[in-house]
Amino acid sequence: MSEKIKDNVIESMKEVWERTKLLHDAPNHYCPGCGHGVVHRLIMEAVEELGVMDRTIAIAPVGCSVLAYNYLNVDTQQAAHGRATACATGIKRVFPDKIVFTYQGDGDLAAIGTGETIHAVNRGDKFLIVFINNGIYGMTGGQMAPTTLEGAKTSTSPDGRDVDLMGHAIRIAEMLALLPGAYYITRQAVNSAKAVRKAKKAIKKALQYQIDGKGGTCLVEVVSNCPSGWKMTPEESNKYLDDEVFDFYQLGDIKVPPKEEK
Amino acid sequence: MAKIRGHVIIKTEECKGCDLCVIECPQDSLEMSKSLNQKGYTFSILSYDTCTGCTNCALVCPEAIITVYREGKKVKATRPISKGQSV
Amino acid sequence: MNKKQLMKGNEALAEAAIRAGLQGYFGYPITPQSELLEYMSRELHKRGGAFVQAESEIASINMVYGAAGAGARVMTSTSSPGYSLMQEGISYIACAELPCLLVNVVRGGPGLGTIQPSQGDYFQAVKGGGHGDYKLIVLAPNSVQEMADFTYIGFDLADQYRMPVLILTDGALGQMMESVVFPEYDIEKNRTNHSSWATTGRVNGREQHVITSLHLQSEDMEKQNQILQKKYRKIEENEVRFETIQTEDADFLLVAYGLSARIAHKAVNLAREEGLKVGLLRPISLYPFPYQAIEDLSAKVSGILTVEMSAGQMVEDVRLAVNGKVPVGFYGRMGGMIPQPDEILEEIKKLYSPKRRQ
């Protein structure tokens, strides 16, 4: 279509989807097809729609999303590896009115930061943990993560993860759901438009709980891809999620607030 | 059945050619370019006038570079466009 | 309100911190600082602050990072092994330039060591401690009163320079009971408003505030280092604190800080009784170290003895200050042992000679 036709077409139409203004107007550094960009966007859309930008504080992790503050246009603290939840506790306890979320990968949250994660949830500290689980250490070059599936090849499990030698993949969301401090725990994905809609709803719901001052920690796990680390095309990686990964990491709510249970 | 008409604008220079929008499009309106953008990626383009403005492409785009337009009365945004909110 | 009270050092410090407007305390039990944590757990909630007993010292220091980054007046306290665990977080806090108060009630090491007092963490305290080029302002009290006084000063310095301030004390000072008077302190007047940089939420669409210690480009990282170094030079110029005792006519100088300085003071008195003209210099700020004061005094004495509860750490800074002009001896006890005044006197006698005045 020529530019002219395009303009005429648009004139008669309404804009139904645009990039949220809470994302910086800058291209991200993530690899083609990486789910980080989608999740960043969903969180910022939720913050914008809920109108809480002026009291939102994000905690960036160590890993691929260490520079999240270059994309998320909200006040952000970059925490030490694994310590994002401790950092969030510090803020939330002194300033309970702030809306706080951490954004952490699986190496950050489920390996080096396991202690901080468990105890923050056990205290029921009222913030949101957005947990990106792609079963690999992307930033450092594709090493095995605690969440790596049995048999999966990574740069430190070159023959596939041998569970006798390297332990088993951790379903940390299910572990955390056992703690009374956990308020809402769900596992989502962003590998299709349908999944993205659901994930957005979950993130928004979790933030709403925090805004309402509901008791406990919320965790939205997003089982995502790592095309570079998995050595797949974006399309293959999304298909691999459907075919293999979701069998182990089953999508859906793991713990919901008492009233909603039925 | 009257078909809803839609349109997308893609910031092709920021596209990384991941192909996910093309795969996700239910109307097969999009395709990847034959040429490369300045970053050296192929990029997604609206090639066929079959777009209904369903927003699927924008939802899966990791770069958030697709803006979606739709004609007709039944405008159902997946997300309200912010008006007057200071950002 | 300003009446004299009998308190443990750890408790006096805690009370002073609350009176200084403490908004958050994050800590973990470890002997010999646990009274501080316990005091906070009893008092802080009642008086408007947040108290969290963290799951580890690592969590504590990162809670401090978060709350300090959001602009709150916060602190943590620990003892030696716990302080080692905090080093990564302290390095982040120093680089991100966050004000906060740290307390290390030192015990004997290395390793799990002993719960008895020590000064073996001097290097870790004044030379950085964690990775990278950074410093903390380090204050060394030698009485329960100073445990309280330095808490106020520490918070104010932390605010003024946007950096962590460490109170380096030890198990004996933390546990001993002495009288203490809490000075008047106007929180509103003394607290700095950090809203120009703290993460408080983007009110009215202002520019985003980011707390980070990451500067991937070497040029940027060097620039951040230069900012820190400039700050440290300013501190070295303006914040040196020390005390001199009977140095005016001294032929021989003792240098000691904290608890050792109390004992060294006693040794000065014993020496004077025997006609030996001994004086004492007590560094109060260990960083910035009173190099100039020691250098000046080294021109007036025949020798110097540094006394520490360690294998000899501060003595290296004393030797740097003296730069070979006079002999610098060292006497120390380790592993929780405390040097006695008569032991120090014996060492003085080995090294003492009256100054041949030109």
Q: Does residue C346 form part of some domain?
A: yes
| Interface membership of B62 toward A (CB under 8 Å) | yes
| Interface membership of B2 toward C (CB under 8 Å) | no
pLDDT of residue A260: 60
d(CA A42, CA A204): 9
Instruction: Provide the 10 A C-beta neighbour count for residue B51.
Output: 23
Indicate if C231 and C295 belong to the same structural domain. no
- Exposed (0-12), middle (13-18) or buried (19+): which is C103, by Cβ within 10 Å? buried
Nearest CA in chain A to B47: A1
d(CA C335, CA C155): 31
**pLDDT per residue of chain A (262 residues) written in tens, 0 to 9:** 444 455 556 677 888 999 999 999 999 999 999 999 999 999 999 999 999 999 999 999 999 999 999 999 999 999 999 999 999 999 999 999 999 999 999 999 999 999 999 999 999 999 999 999 999 999 999 999 999 999 999 999 999 999 999 999 999 999 999 999 999 999 999 999 999 999 999 999 999 999 999 889 999 999 999 999 999 999 999 999 999 999 999 999 999 998 765 4
| Interface membership of B87 toward C (CB under 8 Å) | yes
Helix, strand, coil % in chain A, rounded to nearest 5: 45, 20, 35
> In which order are the strands placed within the sheet that holds A56-60?
A252-255, A182-189, A217-223, A128-133, A99-105, A56-60, A75-78, C210-211
| Interface membership of A200 toward B (CB under 8 Å) | yes
Set of chain A residues whose Cβ sits within 8 Å of the Cβ of C70: 57, 77, 90-91, 94-95, 98
Indicate if C234 and C248 belong to the same structural domain. no
Question: Nearest-CA neighbor of A80 among A62, A63, A64?
Answer: A62
Last residue of a domain, one of C191, C219, C238: C238
Indicate if C124 and C63 belong to the same structural domain. yes
Residue A254: how many CA atoms within 13 Å on its side-chain side? 23
CA B83 remoteness from chain centre: 21
Q: Does residue A52 form part of some domain?
A: yes
- Provide the residue ranges of all domains of chain B, joining segments of one domain with +: 6-70
Indicate if C134 and C264 belong to the same structural domain. no
Q: Does residue A222 form part of some domain?
A: yes
Indicate if C111 and C259 belong to the same structural domain. no
Q: Which chains touch B (3 or more CB pairs under 8 A)?
A: A, C
Mean pLDDT for chain B? 85
Q: Does residue C130 form part of some domain?
A: yes
pLDDT band (50, 70, 90) for residue B4 = confident
Q: Does residue A237 form part of some domain?
A: yes
Set of chain A residues whose Cβ sits within 8 Å of the Cβ of B57: 193
Indicate if C114 and C164 belong to the same structural domain. yes
Both tokens of C68, joined, read 């300090």
Question: Nearest-CA neighbor of C53 among C74, C29, C30, C33?
Answer: C29
Number of structural domains in chain C: 2
Both tokens of C297, joined, read 């005094």
Q: Does residue C81 form part of some domain?
A: yes
ipTM computed for the complex:
0.95
Both tokens of C255, joined, read 């240098």
Which portions of chain C are predicted below pLDDT 50?
358
**Contact (CB, 8 A) for A76 and A100:** no
Task: Please list, in sequence order, all residues whose beta carbon lies within 8 angstroms of the beta carbon of residue A46, skipping any fewer than 6 positions away.
Answer: A200, A203, A204, A207
- Is a pLDDT exceeding 80 seen at residue B80? no
**Given the DSSP bridges, would you call strands C242-245 and C278-283 parallel, antiparallel or unpaired?**
antiparallel
Helices C9-19 and C144-161, axial angle in degrees (round to 10): 40
Indicate if C200 and C111 belong to the same structural domain. yes
**Contact (CB, 8 A) for C107 and C114:** yes
CATH 3.30.70.20 fits B6-70, yes or no: yes
Indicate if C204 and C259 belong to the same structural domain. no
Number of structural domains in chain A: 1
| Interface membership of A17 toward B (CB under 8 Å) | yes
Residue A184's domain comprises 30-257
Set of chain A residues whose Cβ sits within 8 Å of the Cβ of C59: 83, 86, 89, 115-116, 119
Q: Does residue A1 form part of some domain?
A: no
Contact between chains at B61 and A37 (C-beta distance less than 8 A): yes
- Is a pLDDT exceeding 50 seen at residue B76? no
Residue C110's domain comprises 5-238
Q: Does residue C100 form part of some domain?
A: yes
Set of chain B residues whose Cβ sits within 8 Å of the Cβ of A27: 14, 63
Last residue of a domain, one of C238, C263, C283: C238
- What's the one-letter identity of residue C306? T
Indicate if C251 and C233 belong to the same structural domain. no
pLDDT band (50, 70, 90) for residue B2 = low
- Is a pLDDT exceeding 50 seen at residue B77? no
Q: Does residue A212 form part of some domain?
A: yes
- The minimal CB distance from B62 to the residues A33, A49, A235 is found for A33
